Amino acid sequence: MAARGIIKMTSPVTPSPMDTSTSYSLPLPTTLLPLPCRPPNAFIQGLRSAVLLVACEPLRSRTLPSQLCRRRRTAATSVFAGMATSCSGKEVLPPALTSASEPPPLFDGTTRLYISLTCPFAQRVWITRNCKGLQDQIKLVPIDLQDRPDWYKEKVYPGNKVPALEHNGKVIGESLDLIKYVDSHFDGPSLYPEDPAKKEFAEELLVYVDSFTKAVFTSLKGGSDDEAAAAFDQIEEALGKFEEGPFFIGQFSLVDIAYAPFIERFQPFLLEVKGIDITAGRPRLAAWIKELSKNDAYSQTCADPKQLVESYKKRFASQL
């Protein structure tokens, strides 16, 4: 799981540390560390300027009018507020490409991750990219799946699905393969365990994820709720395997990434449509969901729960 950062400033008047609830550490005025959540360069420059304003304030306040001093404090505060919003809020995304869109300059050395903003499979790889701190190295290219461009199938990915990763002159698909690929082929914190017992259990859970989603989807399509309940019970049991953390293998890993996009959708839909609280009687699952929501790398990929529910209502309207 991405670490949360604390920004500390050194000046004649030492301000209190500011918890920005971000996923990076910034010892000012040194350079930014390559950790998962990286604010834009403009914000970095503004942040440094703000530090200088605050640092100089005690000296200048003796000679400048108090109104001007207040304006300087306000300017510095605004920069910090903007920084927090930028890094804890959602990534600014390009518009989805449609049948009318021109292709990007393919195979030009740029690494591109083709996604749909509403696809849970694509979200897996998007989360992995964020957790590794690869926002600058892997460019997101959203595709409109309802109006996808012909060139995507013809020139990028013959499977005509997302996600797909354009890297080193080739294109790779399939989300579970891709999260492992991104983890092993790019810099950043490892998201897969080295401990043999944890690695074996992680592999079992990555195999089971398709059975889990199938069981829940069967329920959503009008099947028995018992099968879905049994699947969530299996998740509850799996979360108790290792006790050193709330996640499947203790620390946040690819296993959590594999399950998160689907549970993100199942939880609000089942609660609203069927009145089923998947966390009732499952305290480990409740703790997992709560802790997961604190992860900026994940939360920046999340859709509005209301939109997810409406989407699933349309999808399963005939079975409801």
Arithmetic mean of pLDDT, 289-302: 96
Report the pLDDT value the prediction gives residue 284, as an integer from 0 to 100: 97
User: In this predicted model, what pLDDT tens digit does every residue of 129-139 receive, in sequence order?
Assistant: 999 999 999 99
User: In this predicted model, what pLDDT tens digit does every residue of 226-246 receive, in sequence order?
Assistant: 999 999 999 999 999 998 889
Cis peptide before 163 (omega within 30 of 0): yes
pTM, two decimal places: 0.73
Specify the long-range contacts of residues 301-306, CB closer than 8 Å, at least 24 apart. 301/123, 301/126, 301/127, 301/130, 301/261, 302/264, 303/117, 303/118, 303/264, 305/264, 305/268, 306/268
Arithmetic mean of pLDDT, 202-230: 96
Q: How many CA atoms lie within 13 A of 5 on its CB side?
A: 23
Q: How many CA atoms lie within 13 A of 229 on its CB side?
A: 10
Report the pLDDT value the prediction gives residue 61, as an integer from 0 to 100: 36
Under 8 Å between Cβ of 266 and 278:
yes
Sorting pLDDT into bands at 50, 70 and 90, what band is 90?
A: low
What are the structural domains of the chain?
Answer: 6-88 (no CATH), 111-185 (3.40.30.10), 196-319 (1.20.1050.10)
Arithmetic mean of pLDDT, 290-315: 95
- As given in the structure block, the two tokens for residue 42 are 């403009």
Highest-confidence range of 62-71, 81-90, 168-177, by mean pLDDT? Answer: 168-177
